[in-house]
Amino acid sequence: MTPTSHPIIPIKQYRFYFESSGRFRLPEYPGSAWRGAFGHALKRTVCVVRNTPCNQCLLKNVCAYSYIFETPPPAGAEKMRKYTATQHPFVLRFPDNASHEVPYRLDVTLFGHGQRFFPYVVHALQTAGQDGIGGHRQVFALLRIDDVDLQGNVQTIYQNGELQPQRQAISPTSPLMPAQIELTFHSPLRIKQDQKNLSTSDFNFGALFSTLLRRISMISYFHTDTPLETDFAGLTARARTVQFASQQLKWYDWTRYSSRQQAEMNMGGMVGSVVLDTLNLEDFWPYLWLGQWTHVGKATSMGMGAYSIRTTSLSDMR
């Protein structure tokens, strides 16, 4: 593994299109429903050692389900050795008007080595749709899959049961840093600081950046050949001094049912936008740009913490 001083995470983004009869009867935020169905379908597909916890299975380090959904740190890992799981190699993403689009659209982003399991992802999501999503078990039939490059260009790679060869994954390269950026959070952003969830009133750039930096560092360490080596302490300390130019955030409440804990869980988070003047913030820019694909905060694999960046140049500000 070759350490780098700037973040490098090869990215592949796929857009799944489904059709479904009748009106959509999914939860208002469907991330948990899709992730749960995806995980159950993937485990049924690949698990050959039934009734054995993944962490006790001899195949855990070569199993698609274990790698994608359990993601245990490999033997000999220098980071997160005390944890049973690390950052997953994927996120789901939904359009802002997911409940109204026809055909139904779901984006899947894979990081680094997660790309090698893409055929399993296709089969599992197709099976999940056929089995039904959400409490009403709405059935979705997979129509096609587009490969979406980093510029938003699409190429259909799956249709009529045939999967085409894949383009190579590449890492997003940040453009020249603009004078001002606006981060828009499209799905609930849930971040903890000092053991409590931040609200719209105490949300700050320091907490946002330190959470994003840790996530990017863990993804690059566990899922790529280019682990990040940088001044983590220095970046984190400087981030605490940065203020937002403005913010328009609101709290979005939603709950999901956890089959593991057999209980309803409150998963509320912030949605809306923040504006940031970027003078002297060059060191933060590559991470903020890359975060558009990795997401940030809690429950990213089910689509939370998704954001996009709108840039403003000096001429636009005059």
Domains and CATH numbers, the chain: 11-163 (3.30.70), 180-317 (3.30.70.1900)
113 Cβ neighbours under 8 A, 6+ residues apart: 89, 223, 224
* Low-confidence residues of the chain: pLDDT under 50: none
pLDDT of residue 3: 75
DSSP-based three-state secondary structure for 258: strand
Residue 171 buriedness (CB in 10 A; 0-12 / 13-18 / 19+): buried
End-to-end CA distance of the chain: 46
pLDDT tens digits, residue range 26-60?
888 899 999 999 999 999 999 998 888 888 888 88
Cα distance between residue 316 and residue 242, in whole Å: 22
Closest CA to 309 of 209, 154, 185: 185
- Which residue is listed with tokens 């320091």? 206
Is the pTM of the predicted complex or chain greater than 0.95? no
Cα distance between residue 99 and residue 161, in whole Å: 26
pLDDT of residue 315: 57
Q: Between the CA of residue 198 and those of 87, 190, 207, what are the distances in Å?
A: 21, 7, 9
pLDDT of residue 266: 81
Phi, psi for residue 254 in degrees, rounded to 5: -155, 155
pLDDT of residue 237: 97
- Which residue is listed with tokens 């990040």? 228
Contact present, 276 and 242 (Cβ < 8 Å)? yes
Q: Show the 3-state SS of 132-155.
A: CECCCCECCEEEEEEEECCCCCEE
pLDDT of residue 242: 97
- How does DSSP assign 172-203, residue by residue? -------SEEEEEEEEEE--EETTEE--TTT-
Closest CA to 145 of 121, 111, 170: 121
pLDDT of residue 295: 98
pLDDT of residue 53: 87
Strand pairing report for 11-19 and 141-148: antiparallel
